[in-house]
Amino acid sequence: MKCPFCAHEEDKVVDSRSSREGRAVRRRRECLNCNKRYTTYEYIEQVPLMVVKRDNKREPFDRQKLLMGIVTACKNRPITMETMEGVVDEIEGEIESLELKEIESIELGRKVMDKLQVLDQVAYVRFASVYRKFKDTTEFLREIEELLDQGISLKKGKKDQ
């Protein structure tokens, strides 16, 4: 394993524990060259889930890509990285329970939007604006109006009581 900081190939494992509901092993490693620490995950190799894009091209499901989309939507919001990783874990678990070999990118996007709508409405609107490819401000405003009609406050991040 190469160190992500200095590319040295020798490290030592300083902590190892079960992660992601027993589906992975999380290892904290320390580079023997620069002494910086980093985390790796070990998974059972499975037949890759394929994501069917809007143009019908297929690509392997990429957990990191999903996480980065959520991180981008949640930028400058009061949401911890642990919470965002938890959202990805939940989505992965839902997909695994369906035992699918392929999932449409549209369905994957819906799952993210469902989670973000509950977690943080600003992040939800950000993600929706990219996912739904709003063409103009009218479409964007329509989405916000729908949230307001549902009694959702964008300020508080929760349904009004």
Side-chain-side CA neighbours of 143 within 13 Å: the count stands at 22
Q: For residue 1, what pLDDT band results from cuts at 50, 70 and 90?
A: confident
Residue 62 has pLDDT above 70, yes or no: yes
Predicted pLDDT at 141: 75
Q: For residue 135, what pLDDT band results from cuts at 50, 70 and 90?
A: low
Residue 133 has pLDDT above 70, yes or no: no
Residue 157 has pLDDT above 90, yes or no: no
Measured between alpha carbons, how far is 109 from 54 in angstroms, rounded to an integer? 11
Give 7-32 pLDDT, tens digit per residue.
999 999 999 999 877 888 999 999 99
Contact criterion met (CB below 8 Å) for 8 and 34 = yes
Closest CA to 114 of 155, 106, 15: 106
> Using alpha carbons only, how large is the chain's radius of gyration in Å?
19
Give 99-129 pLDDT, tens digit per residue.
889 999 999 999 999 999 999 989 988 898 7
Residue 37 has pLDDT above 60, yes or no: yes
Q: What is the rounded average pLDDT for all residues in the chain?
A: 87
Contacts of 124 (CB under 8 A, 6+ apart): 73, 113, 116, 117, 147
Strands 102-104 and 50-52: what pairing?
Answer: parallel
Predicted pLDDT at 48: 81
Predicted pLDDT at 98: 87
- Residue 31: strand, helix, or coil: strand
Instruction: Write down the H helix ranges in 21-104.
Output: 63-73, 81-98
Contact criterion met (CB below 8 Å) for 25 and 17 = yes
Contact criterion met (CB below 8 Å) for 29 and 50 = no
What does the pLDDT average to over 124-135? Answer: 78
Predicted pLDDT at 86: 95
User: What sign does the dihedral 10-16-20-23 (CA atoms) show?
Assistant: positive
